[in-house]
Every structure is written in structure tokens, then in C-alpha cells.
A and B are shown apart, each in its own frame.
Chain A
Amino acid sequence: MRRSTIRAWYLVHKWSSIVPTVFLLMLCVTGLPLIFHDEIEALEGVDYETALPGAPSAESGVPLDTMLETALAERPGEVPLFMAFSQESPLLTVTTGPTPDAASEDMTLLFFDRATGESLGPAPGGGVMDFLLQLHTDMFLGQPGMWFLGVMGALFVVALISGTVLYAPFMRRLRFGTLRMDRSRRVGRLDQHNLGGIVILAWALVVGGTGVINAFADPLTDAWREGELAAMTTEHGGAEPVAPADYGSLDAAMAEAHAVLPGRNPQFIAFPGGGWSTARHYAVFFQGDRPLTEHLLTPALIDAESGALVDARAMPALNQALMMSKPLHFGDYGGLPLKALWALLTLATIWVLWTGVLLWWRRSPGEIERRVAEIHGGAEGQLA
């Protein structure tokens, strides 16, 4: 590799890592406890998923229309926005708001036991986990905050790739895994930085990449709604809004949807007028029936007034990627050992970021040229 090429990649790596570093450190530090949020929340309060006896709410229980009535009785004057099911317990959640297009700050999440029909009250919220989640996803700045962090994540991916490109010439004369801690502090840090980076590469690319995709989740969902979903409804006779007072039976709608997607379980229902459906349809989102496909959702559109099925069609590839991005980012799909490994890899990422910060912070004048020369010539190993 020519010296000028190395210099170019060196500058790409330097700037693509310096800019996002402080934010990446924040993401790693907030991410660490978030990995275990289920366990932490179970310690703090009741874990309904394990505590409630009975069949999963996705499969059976008290009729949905009855559950909806109970929910709306708790929030008079409000309209239903979402109903979500559990695949493990009778826990059923209903989200209500002042209008069908209410903003998320104005939504209320209510918990129910579908086996008995009882209300379990509003979803437990507030607390440290919610604070950390908010900080992690948008730094309390809403959409612009999310997108900003998405850009930081994209820079992280560039830093990982450019670092890998520089790894090759640098390691020409070094054995893999060499940590020259007996030389200067800089050399020791550099070896740690390189080893850490190359070893976490696959995991970091996946978590970073899925983080970027998740940051742009809302625009992706909007694009689906305005594209695919709109096409599905215009093909089947237009989309005049239906008022909440005229919503038809949920149970009938569910039965219609099940008829075209037998053997599949629903994950949630989006009510008319919100971000996940049209102005006149229930959108019932079904999971796939195999472990790999349970993260992929197929919506079935049902006319909220007449109860007739409009269409059931898988979401476009980009939105499917979005749905797969969630488990791959959270690391919550493989039990506690996977979460423990996720945490260790996050610590390793902090190690790589921190050694990078120190390497930059402790630089001296003329540093760039010396570093480029070092990479171009290949690092020297220690002599026996």
C-alpha cells in the first residue's frame, strides 16, 4: 500500500472516530445496563410475563372487544391506538391517547390480564431504566436526537472499516495477538487498540449497523405507511377515515385475519389513524411461526367499519431488516449467557474507544507523518 493511500485511510480513521467518540462512549455506558433491563425491572417490580398464570394472550383469553371496553372505561374520552399481545403470558397491553394520531408523549400504556379480564393498571414507568433508554436512543432530543446518534453510528462503522484497512500494513511483521506492553505506553496502547478492534469487529459492525437502522426506524415506518400500505388500500377501494365511534368488532377482525394467516400468532394491532395503519383499517401484525421468522411481521389490513379483510402482505425488505435489527442490536434473544457476552463485548468496545482517545490525546507534533511511516513500514516486533 502506498504511503499516500495509508495517509488517506489514516485521516479517514482519525476523523471518523474522533467525532463520534464521546457519543459512542455514552452509548456503550448506557447500553450496558440496558442489556439487562428485563432482569433489572424484574428486581424492581412485578414481572408480569412470569407471574401471570394462563394461556398466552396471543392465543386465547377473554374476548378482545371486552378487553377494549375495559381499557376505554379506564381512560374516558380517549381512543385506542394499539393493542399488543404476549407469546408467553396472558399479559395484554392497550395503548390509548386523546386522538388517533396522538404523539407518543400523550399516549398511555395500560396492562391487562387476558386470562381473567382484570386491569393491572398503567404500565410501570419512570425510573432509571427509562431514563437510560431515553438517553441512549435520542438524548432526550426526540427525532433530531435519534438521527444525530444514527449519524454517529454510521461514523462508527466507517471507523471500524478504516481501522481494519490500516490493520493490514501495520501488522505485516507482528504476530496476531501481540501486546507490546513492555515498550512505550503509546505502543502498548496501540497494540491493545488494534487487538481489541479486530477481535470485536463482527459484533461491533452488527450492533453499530443495527443501531443506525433503528435510529432511522421512524422514517422507514413512515415510508412503508405512505408507500406499501397506501397502495394496499387504494387497490381495495380507497381510505375514507372511520371515526372511533364506528369501529367494528376486534374479535371478528382477528378471525378474518386468522383465516388468511392460519397458525400464526398476532404480535399487535394498530388502530386506524395512527402511524402503523391507514385512516380506516385495523392493521393486525402477525409474527412468523419459526424462531428466525418470529421477528418478521406480516400485517393484515381489515376494514375497521365493515370487518372485511383487505389484504395481507409481507412488509418490504428494508422494513424487514428493521425488524431483524432489534434483536440483533439488543442481544436479548439468546438467554442470560448471550446478554453476559454482549456486556463483555461492550466493555471491550469501551476499551478500544478509550485507548483510541488516549492515543489521540497524547499525540505530539508531526504525529501524523510518523504514524503513517510506522504503518507503511509495518510495526516492529520486539527482539529476543
Chain B
Amino acid sequence: MKPIAPSRRRTRQSLAHIFALPLALFAASFAGLVLGLTGEGAPDILAWALLSLPVLVVAVAWRRRGRPSPQRKI
């Protein structure tokens, strides 16, 4: 089985690092919400693409979730 990459870091991440992806998602969702209001056609398609990002992120994270493993020693 592939070893799971360590998600613990000894050094603390900066605030900027912690919020980088959340902020990008926030901006993308918000842009999607507002763009959809501005017209039919292309703005709508852009809105769908941007607003589907949060959903995709959750799907990816769920696939990568740490699963209970019977061989874990710790």
C-alpha cells in the first residue's frame, strides 16, 4: 500500500499559507455567484465552472482521506 504522506509539519505555517487555498476558493465562488447575475450564456458558464470548485475540492479531499488501517502500529 502506498504510504500516506505526512500531513504533520514541525514548522508552523504562516497565516498566508494557511489561507492561500481557502482564499482562492472564496474569491472564485464569490466571482461565480456575481458573474452569473451579469448575463446569459458565457457569464453563466463561467459561474458554473467557478462555483463547482468548492464541490470538486471536497470530492478530491474525500478520495484522499486517511483511512483506518489495521497495520498501523502507533
List the B side residues contacting A181 at CB < 8 Å.
65-68
Name the residue on B nearest A337 (C-beta). B48
* Interface residues, chain B, with chain A CB atoms under 8 Å away: 3-10, 12-13, 15, 18-22, 25-27, 29-30, 33, 36-40, 43-44, 47-48, 51-52, 54-55, 57-58, 60-62, 64-69, 72, 74
User: Is there contact, CB below 8 Å, between B7 and A174?
Assistant: yes
Q: Does A182 contact B (CB under 8 A)?
A: yes
List the B side residues contacting A338 at CB < 8 Å.
36, 44, 47-48, 51
Of the stretches A240-248, A305-313, A340-348, the one at the interface is A340-348
Q: Does A172 contact B (CB under 8 A)?
A: yes
List the A side residues contacting B6 at CB < 8 Å.
381-384
Q: Does A259 contact B (CB under 8 A)?
A: no
User: Is there contact, CB below 8 Å, between B26 and A179?
Assistant: no
State in angstroms the CA–CA spacing of A49 and B5 once bound together. 55
State in angstroms the CA–CA spacing of A157 and B7 once bound together. 30
Using A201-B26, A292-B38 as known contacts, list a sample of 11 further A-B pairs with CB atoms less than 8 Å apart, ordered by residue number in A.
A179-B61, A180-B66, A181-B67, A291-B43, A335-B44, A338-B36, A338-B44, A338-B48, A341-B48, A348-B54, A384-B3
Q: Does A200 contact B (CB under 8 A)?
A: yes
State in angstroms the CA–CA spacing of A298 and B52 once bound together. 34
User: Is there contact, CB below 8 Å, between B22 and A348?
Assistant: no
List the A side residues contacting B25 at CB < 8 Å.
198-199, 201-202
List the A side residues contacting B67 at CB < 8 Å.
181-182
Chain A to chain B contacts (Cβ below 8 Å), 10 pairs = A179-B66, A182-B72, A183-B66, A327-B37, A328-B33, A335-B44, A341-B48, A348-B55, A383-B8, A384-B3
Task: Determine how close the nearest CB of chain A comes to the CB of B7; give it in whole angstroms.
Answer: 4
Q: Does A175 contact B (CB under 8 A)?
A: yes
Partner of B9, one of A291, A333, A381, A384: A381
List the A side residues contacting B10 at CB < 8 Å.
173
Interface centre among A171, A334, A348, A384 (most CB of B within 10 A): A334
Name the residue on A nearest B35 (C-beta). A334
Quick one: given A203-B51, A344-B55, are A168 and B39 in contact (CB under 8 Å)? no
State in angstroms the CA–CA spacing of A206 and B35 once bound together. 14
Task: Determine how close the nearest CB of chain A comes to the CB of B70; give it in whole angstroms.
Answer: 11
User: Is there contact, CB below 8 Å, between B58 and A196?
Assistant: yes
User: Is there contact, CB below 8 Å, between B26 and A173?
Assistant: no
User: Is there contact, CB below 8 Å, between B8 and A292?
Assistant: no
User: Is there contact, CB below 8 Å, between A182 and B68?
Assistant: yes
Interface centre among A179, A202, A206, A324 (most CB of B within 10 A): A202
User: Is there contact, CB below 8 Å, between B13 and A199?
Assistant: no
